[in-house]
Structure 1
Amino acid sequence: MIPFPEPTSPAGSRAEVFLRYLDYFRESTVAKVSAMAEPELRRSRLPSGWTPLELLKHLRHVELRWIEWGFQGRDVAEPWGDRHEDRWYVAPDETRADLVAALRAQGAHTTEVVTAHDLAEIGAPGPRWNGADPASLERVLFHLVQEYARHLGHLDVVAELAGGPTGE
């Protein structure tokens, strides 16, 4: 498990701080999902209806949408591939191992992009921005950190209800 990136831990740059938090939240999500019993992964314990595997897939697509489709301006075949009929979706043949591998690969790509660009650099124009001016890499990373933190908190509650690990 990656230790929590304490604010007092020295860092070489703001980019390093963002990457530490993203790595921590990503791996904490993986640890939570990995500790849950298989039947709980495809079961929802909340009125909203999402499952732990759906959340895992959603977070991978969040990074894809904001880094590749957004900041890099790449043509992404299925930027909303985590959704089906206006809700998160995981196909029956998608496994925990596959989804974890995809999330980690997306995280590695994010790290490559962040280390190759200045935080003040503005993203490429494209459909991700819905007609607005593209955001800086720093603003994209800040958004990703809040998205991970919020969803990891959701997963904490679901894991506890499922009899899995609690807290941080």
Structure 2
Amino acid sequence: MSAIPFPSPMTPAAGHAEVFVRYLDYYRETLLAKAAALPAAELRASRLPSGWTPLELLKHLRWVELRWLEWGFQGSAVEDPWGDRRDDRWHVEPAETLDDLAAALRAQGAHTTAVITGSDLTAAGRPGPRWAGAEPATLERICLHLIQEYARHAGHLDIVAELAGGPTGE
């Protein structure tokens, strides 16, 4: 399904940063491939009571990376860190396409890779609004959280794809 092979624990890696990047790249590309294989009408439709759509999920994951790495770890000013939400739910504008959202997610992924490979994994994020007064997490903890987020949402999209007659599994 993914253009990137599963990052097997038996494949040597130079260190933890490489392992984290491999998993994030794998899950990001797997989700994009699953979405691209769905019929166009299914991208904006929801098959679940919660109401989210595959396009909304892709947009959400781009913003998750932005919130945790740019706004949180790097402490960058982000005008609207919850830009994937409207009225307390995920939102995609009618003009946003799969191609647009895939490009944004991949660009965010390139930034994520640069941060992970260019930083000390034990470094804590910069204090700021992302942490809501708590101590900032280390980059390693953020990476583990992002992998968990991607893995969970890959399973969600598996279910939606199966219900829509699209591809499932890895």
Which bracket does the TM-score occupy, shorter chain normalised?
over 0.9
1:105 is aligned to 107
**What is the match of residue 117 of structure 1?**
119
Q: Which runs of structure 2 are paired with 1:1-168 in the superposition (5 Å)?
A: 1-168=3-170
Deviations 1:30-57 (A, max 9, x none): 0001111110000000000000000000
- 1-side partners of 2:5 and 2:118: how far apart? 25
Hey, what's the Cα distance between the residues in 1 that align with 2:83 and 2:26?
24
Query: 1:162 & 1:126 partners in 2: Cα distance?
Result: 41
TM-score (norm 2): 0.98
Gaps of 5+ in 2: none
Between the aligned partners of 2:77 and 2:113, the Cα distance in structure 1 is 19
Q: Counterparts of 2:166 and 2:114 in 1: how far apart (Å)?
A: 33
For the residue of structure 2 that corresponds to 1:118, the secondary structure is: coil
State the TM-score, normalized to the length of structure 1. Answer: 0.99
Tell me, in whole angstroms, the C-alpha distance in 2 between the residues paired with 1:32 and 1:39: 14
C-alpha distance in 1 between matches for 2:159 and 2:80: 30
| Cα distance in 1 for residues equivalent to 2:60 and 2:73 | 18
Q: CA deviation at 1:124?
A: 0.5
Identity of aligned residues (%): 70
State the shift of 1:135 in Å.
0.5
Structure 1 residue 13 displacement after superposition: 0.5
Letter matched to residue 127 of structure 1: P
Measured in 1, the distance between the counterparts of 2:81 and 2:36 equals 25
Instruction: Please identify runs of 4+ aligned residues in structure 1 that moved more than 4 A.
Output: none
Residue 136 of structure 1 and its aligned partner are, at CA, apart by 0.4
